[in-house]
């Protein structure tokens, strides 16, 4: 059964494939937001609030996350691409910018390669690309620990990597909400998504020159695994790319620095 809730111009709904989404905003152009591994569409609350006057904003829960369906045994990057494409087509959206964060950034690259005519612009936020061997080894170790000890065993370390210490002190409610979101994941679904994030990034390697639309690759100074060098590499390999590094922030910069990211997205798109 479809559950639909309308508050002013905000729509919460389930697509026909079980994808949960929210659509709101005033602008003529469409901005689609894709979250990171283990998270859901609620990470965009601050950014949507800042951008809803300028864009029609669509956010959704990826497969195996949030309220969307959880086909963990068949999860792949191709399945995430199909989920996004099916949602865009079902909602008959046009003039789309897809903005993906972390694993959503990997999806952004894959989707733009597979469906070049569906997008007008691309924003890739704090995304991993061509991990160095040491970085790949470290994330493999985290995946193995999550498998052996349970996904909750890696949550506290993730929060330390994701948020700066001053933000953790100033806004503990955001940290607590993120921790709850991670704890609520179904273990099998999370492990499938994390395995995808760890091991399927190679599928976009050396294909970014197929992306011809204007692309913004943005990351933050202290993001250990989605580094400024990676953003520069992405911007250099697409046909029309630019890279921006935000000083002083870690991985969850689109949350902690939502105002900064919102302004860069406006500058890029408007």
Tokens in use for 187?
């273990």
CA distances in angstroms from 194 to 32, 49, 102, listed in the order given? 22, 28, 11
pTM of the model: 0.95
For the chain, helix (H) and strand (E) counts, in that order, are 11, 9
Give the H/E segment covering residue 59.
strand 56-60
Strands 5-7 and 10-14: antiparallel
The closest of 259, 256, 268 to 216, measured between CA atoms, is: 268
Q: What is the pLDDT of residues 110-161, one digit of tens each?
A: 999 999 999 999 999 999 999 999 999 999 999 999 999 999 999 999 999 9
| Whether 266 contacts 51, CB under 8 Å | yes
Strand segments, DSSP code E, in the chain are 5-7, 10-14, 20-25, 30-34, 56-60, 96-101, 119-125, 215-220, 241-246
Q: What is the pLDDT of residues 158-181, one digit of tens each?
A: 999 999 999 999 999 999 999 999
Q: How confident is the model at residue 67 (pLDDT cuts 50, 70, 90)?
A: very high
Q: How confident is the model at residue 27 (pLDDT cuts 50, 70, 90)?
A: confident
CATH top-level class of 5-269: alpha beta
The closest of 200, 232, 197, 198 to 216, measured between CA atoms, is: 232
Tell me phi and psi for residue 8, to 5 degrees: 50, -110
The domain limits of the chain are 5-269
pLDDT for position 5: 36
| Whether 225 contacts 128, CB under 8 Å | yes
Contact residues for 16 (Cβ-Cβ < 8 A; gap 6+)? 86, 90
> Cα angle vertex 252, ends 136, 148, to 5°?
45
Which of the 8 DSSP states describes residue 154? G
């Amino acid at each position: 059964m479809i559950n639909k809730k309308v508050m002013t111009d905000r729509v919460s709904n389930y697509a026909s494939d079980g994808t949960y989404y929210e659509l709101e905003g005033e602008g003529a152009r469409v901005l689609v937001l894709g979250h990171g591994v283990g998270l859901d569409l609620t990470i965009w609350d601050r950014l949507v609030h800042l951008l809803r006057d300028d864009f029609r904003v669509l956010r959704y829960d990826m497969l195996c996350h949030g309220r969307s369906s959880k086909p963990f045994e068949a999860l792949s990057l191709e399945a995430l691409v199909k989920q996004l494409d099916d949602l865009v087509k079902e909602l008959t959206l046009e003039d789309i910018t897809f903005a993906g964060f972390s694993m959503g950034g990997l999806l952004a690259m894959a989707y733009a390669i597979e469906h070049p005519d569906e997008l007008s612009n691309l924003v890739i936020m704090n995304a991993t690309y061509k991990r160095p061997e040491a970085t790949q080894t470290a994330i493999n170790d985290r995946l193995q620990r999550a498998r052996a000890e349970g996904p909750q065993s890696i949550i506290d370390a993730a929060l330390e990597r994701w948020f700066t210490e001053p933000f953790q002190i100033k806004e503990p409610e955001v940290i607590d909400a993120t921790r709850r979101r991670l704890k609520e994941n179904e273990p099998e679904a999370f492990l499938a998504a994390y395995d995808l994030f760890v091991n399927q990034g190679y599928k976009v390697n050396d294909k970014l020159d197929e992306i011809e639309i204007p692309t913004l690759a943005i990351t933050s100074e202290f993001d250990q695994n989605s580094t400024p060098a990676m953003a520069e590499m992405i911007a250099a390999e697409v046909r029309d790319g630019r890279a921006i590094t935000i000083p002083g922030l870690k991985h969850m910069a689109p949350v902690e620095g939502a105002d900064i990211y919102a302004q860069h997205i406006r500058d890029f798109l408007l």
